[in-house]
């Protein structure tokens, strides 16, 4: 502080005496515990009050006594008694000594303001945040969002890469449960976390560190979908030799054959798969694994099954064996692999999930004039993501709610779908409202093609001889993801049923750790530290409360252009948009 006068204990009284002769007024005295000693600061106001305060500072050892100045300044007597009480310092020669009964009752603590022996200032800690907790992959969301707000895109990408290997893919196709849990979601303006992830991938580069030590162990992974690729990525990083077996002719699994190209450009997918390849992972396409025992014979110490859920579920209605009734997942796969699919003009998609919307939008792009999605509940209950429904409607997809198929009729070469009209009842166990059939409400529509998008389930070859649970999934240990067979693990949709890419990535990480431990490793994933300074402030409540900032709008391809091909619909954020969006974050991870 300014105007300090440092004195030792012996010089205190003369220094105060000098203040008295200068007619300075005693403001107060502050006592501070410095750990090994006490410091007492006397604050004086000079006679001319325009002058700044003067401070006499004296340090005394713990256990030492303090001479009283109350003979000169009577008003110091209360302050000194307080210091004596609160700091357990003996003050000698006070004008009035309250005998340590000044500010203390019988019940009060022995010494109140003295710091504990092992005192150290508490370092700022980060708080758990809702977005980060909602992320299956456990990405440090507030940090990467903040770094984009600060214009540090490369560091931001590195933060994402700490826990999730595919920012390019997930920046495009993630369902973003984080955004739903963002605190600004209540104002209907959650941070565009997914778009920022994509932005970081598009605008920054990240150099993968190749594994330095080799374990000499080999792992076979069946399936090159998100789960298989992530597990391969992590296992390769931990130094294991990894081979992926892919039954189809192309890699990527559901990311390639289930997600249409207008949502996930194949260029991005290939880039990310090549990134995994560059870590030394071998991928064998067109190789269907029929026997696990053969894998072990071929020299693999562990096998991970990540075959996903590629088998469409039937509608279970009369007449669905008609060749023009096709399964959604098969349809999407055929389109993705470049096979010719003849749809005709009138297409009905049955189902309300993301796959149904994907099929409908793909059908529009293939030239179907009239595409209708039949869903048995109403729009509010639709499991498909809101923005995709919006985009589908923009592209001319019609929605027929409260309609459930009764049977498929074919007469004289014309195909028609007979439906029940439904009505919504009470919410069921899943929280959605139950759909009940309205009696006598059947109606039928003439169609050229019916796409059944009821759902998918895993398809597991019989010779695997594993314990199979409900909905044809593989039963695994929830912690280690080990199956009923020694050395065989499973991850992704094959154990959960159809889920999301991010869940597959997250579970594959757990599987990689479990496999590493099984192979004798410590299960430690190499995480690259990102050296960035932490922020020191979060938004004040006023910024949160008064300035309602709008969520950034993703620029989209014009509707007319969309239907001409499979160009990506979302165009990506500009730098200015991304930075503004990053700054909009409230930084809930900081202490208030």
Partner 1 sequence: MAVRTVIPFGPQHPILPEPIHLKLELEDERVVGVTPVIGYVHRGVEKAGELNSFRQNVFLCERICGICSITHALTYCQGVEALTGVKVPPRARFLRLFWSELSRAHSHLLWLGCLAEAVGFESLFMQIWRARETVMDLLEMTAGHRVITSTCLVGGVSRDIDKEMAREVDKRLVALKEVLDNTAAPALLHDPTIKRRAVGKGMLSKEQAEVLGAVGPTARGSGVAIDIRQTDYAAYKEVGFEPIVETAGDSYARTLVRAKETYQCIELMRKSLAMMPGGEILVRVDGYPEGETISRTEQPRGELIYYIKGNGTNHLERLRIRTPTFANIPTLLVMLPGCEMADVPVITLSIDPCISCTER
* Contact positions vs partner 1 (CB under 8 A): 1, 23, 25-28, 30-33, 41, 43, 45, 49-50, 53, 55, 73-75, 77-79, 86, 96, 98, 101-105, 108, 112-113, 121-124, 535-537, 539-543, 591-592
Number of residues that make up the chain? 592
Degrees (nearest 5) of the Cα angle 388, 391, 395? 135
Closest distance of CB 30 from partner 1, Å: 4
Query: How many CA atoms does the CB half-sphere of 522 hold within 13 Å?
Result: 3
DSSP secondary structure code for residue 463 in this structure: G
CB-CB neighbours of 125 under 10 Å:
8
Closest distance of CB 581 from partner 1, Å: 18
Measured CA to CA, the distance from residue 529 to residue 506 in angstroms comes to 20
Closest distance of CB 45 from partner 1, Å: 8
Based on the number of CB atoms within 10 Å of its own CB, is 34 exposed (0-12), middle (13-18) or buried (19 or more)?
A: exposed
Return the number of the residue (61 or 74) whose C-beta is nearest partner 1. Answer: 74
**Percent helix, strand and coil across the chain, each rounded to 5?**
35, 20, 45
Measured CA to CA, the distance from residue 42 to residue 73 in angstroms comes to 11
Residue 470 has phi, psi (to 5 degrees) of -65, 150
Return the number of the residue (122 or 297) whose C-beta is nearest partner 1. Answer: 122
Return the number of the residue (113 or 554) whose C-beta is nearest partner 1. Answer: 113
Matching residue, tokens 């059944």: 452
Return the number of the residue (64 or 112) whose C-beta is nearest partner 1. Answer: 112
Return the number of the residue (146 or 263) whose C-beta is nearest partner 1. Answer: 146
Based on the number of CB atoms within 10 Å of its own CB, is 237 exposed (0-12), middle (13-18) or buried (19 or more)?
A: buried
Measured CA to CA, the distance from residue 436 to residue 422 in angstroms comes to 5
Measured CA to CA, the distance from residue 501 to residue 507 in angstroms comes to 10
Return the number of the residue (52 or 367) whose C-beta is nearest partner 1. Answer: 52
Contact at 8 Å (CB) between 44 and 24? yes
Return the number of the residue (96 or 438) whose C-beta is nearest partner 1. Answer: 96
Closest distance of CB 100 from partner 1, Å: 11
Closest distance of CB 554 from partner 1, Å: 28
Contact at 8 Å (CB) between 180 and 159? no
Burial code (b: 16+ CB inside 10 Å, e: under 16) for 474-508 equals: bebeeeebbbebebbbbbbbbbbbbbbbbbbbbbb
Closest distance of CB 11 from partner 1, Å: 21
Q: What does the block give as tokens for 400?
A: 């027929």
Closest distance of CB 80 from partner 1, Å: 12
Q: Under DSSP, is residue 273 helix (H, G, I), strand (E, B) or coil?
A: helix
Closest distance of CB 130 from partner 1, Å: 20
Return the number of the residue (79 or 371) whose C-beta is nearest partner 1. Answer: 79
> What are residue 416's DSSP bridge partners?
409, 446
Contact at 8 Å (CB) between 467 and 474? yes
Closest distance of CB 79 from partner 1, Å: 8
Q: What does the block give as tokens for 50?
A: 């325009």
Return the number of the residue (75 or 527) whose C-beta is nearest partner 1. Answer: 75
Return the number of the residue (96 or 337) whose C-beta is nearest partner 1. Answer: 96
Return the number of the residue (478 or 536) whose C-beta is nearest partner 1. Answer: 536
Closest distance of CB 126 from partner 1, Å: 11
Contact at 8 Å (CB) between 155 and 143? no
Closest distance of CB 535 from partner 1, Å: 7
């Amino acid at each position: 502080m300014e105007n300090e006068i440092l004195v030792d204990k012996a010089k205190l009284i003369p220094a105060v005496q000098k203040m008295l002769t200068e007619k300075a007024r005693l403001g107060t005295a502050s006592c501070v515990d410095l750990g090994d000693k006490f410091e007492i600061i006397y604050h004086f106001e000079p006679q001319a009050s325009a002058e700044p305060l003067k401070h006499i500072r004296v340090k005394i050892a713990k256990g030492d006594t303090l001479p009283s100045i109350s003979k000169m300044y009577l008003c110091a007597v209360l302050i000194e008694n307080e210091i004596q009480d609160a700091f357990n310092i003996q003050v000698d020669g006070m004008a009035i000594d309250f005998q340590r009964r000044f500010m203390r009752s019988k019940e009060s603590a022995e010494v109140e303001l003295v710091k504990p022996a092992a005192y150290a200032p508490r370092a700022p800690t980060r708080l758990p945040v809702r977005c980060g907790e909602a992320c299956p992959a456990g990405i440090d969301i507030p940090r990467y969002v903040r770094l984009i707000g600060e214009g540090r895109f490369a560091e931001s990408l590195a933060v994402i890469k700490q826990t999730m290997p595919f920012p390019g893919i997930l920046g495009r196709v993630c369902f973003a449960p984080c955004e739903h849990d963002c605190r600004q979601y209540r104002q209907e303006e959650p941070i565009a976390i997914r778009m920022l992830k994509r932005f970081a991938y598009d605008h920054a580069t990240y150099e993968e560190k190749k594994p330095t030590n080799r374990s000499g162990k080999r792992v076979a992974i069946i399936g090159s979908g998100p789960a298989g690729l992530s597990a391969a990525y992590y296992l390769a990083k931990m130094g294991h030799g990894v081979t992926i077996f892919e039954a189809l002719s192309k890699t990527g699994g559901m990311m390639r054959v289930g997600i249409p190209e207008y949502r996930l450009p194949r260029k991005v997918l290939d880039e990310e798969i090549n990134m995994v390849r560059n870590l030394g992972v071998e991928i064998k396409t067109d190789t269907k694994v029929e026997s696990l025992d053969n894998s072990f014979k071929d020299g693999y110490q562990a096998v991970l099954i990540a075959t996903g859920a590629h088998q469409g579920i039937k509608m279970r209605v009369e007449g669905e064996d008609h060749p023009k009734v096709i399964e959604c997942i098969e349809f999407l796969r055929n389109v993705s692999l470049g096979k010719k699919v003849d749809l005709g003009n009138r297409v009905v998609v049955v189902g309300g999930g993301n796959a149904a919307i994907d099929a409908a939008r793909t059908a529009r792009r293939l030239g179907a004039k009239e595409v209708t999605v039949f869903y048995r509940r109403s729009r509010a209950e639709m499991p498909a993501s809101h923005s995709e429904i919006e985009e589908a409607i923009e592209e001319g997809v019609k929605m027929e709610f409260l309609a459930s198929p009764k049977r498929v009729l074919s007469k004289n070469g014309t195909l028609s779908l007979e439906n029940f009209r439904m009505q919504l009842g009470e919410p069921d166990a899943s929280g959605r409202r139950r759909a009940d059939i309205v009696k006598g409400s059947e109606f039928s529509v003439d169609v050229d093609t019916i796409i059944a998008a009821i759902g998918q389930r895993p398809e597991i070859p019989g010779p695997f001889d594993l314990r199979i649970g409900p909905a044809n999934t593989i039963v695994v240990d929830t912690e280690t993801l080990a199956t009923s067979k020694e050395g065989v693990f499973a991850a992704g949709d094959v154990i959960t049923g159809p889920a999301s890419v991010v869940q597959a990535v997250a579970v594959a990480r757990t599987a990689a750790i479990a496999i590493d431990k099984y192979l004798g490793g410590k299960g430690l994933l190499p995480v690259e530290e990102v050296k960035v300074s932490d922020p020191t402030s979060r938004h004040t409540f006023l910024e949160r409360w008064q300035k309602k900032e709008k969520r950034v709008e993703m620029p989209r391809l014009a509707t007319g252009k969309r239907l001409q091909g499979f160009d990506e619909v979302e165009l990506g954020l500009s730098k200015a948009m991304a930075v503004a969006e990053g700054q909009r974050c409230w930084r809930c991870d900081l202490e208030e």
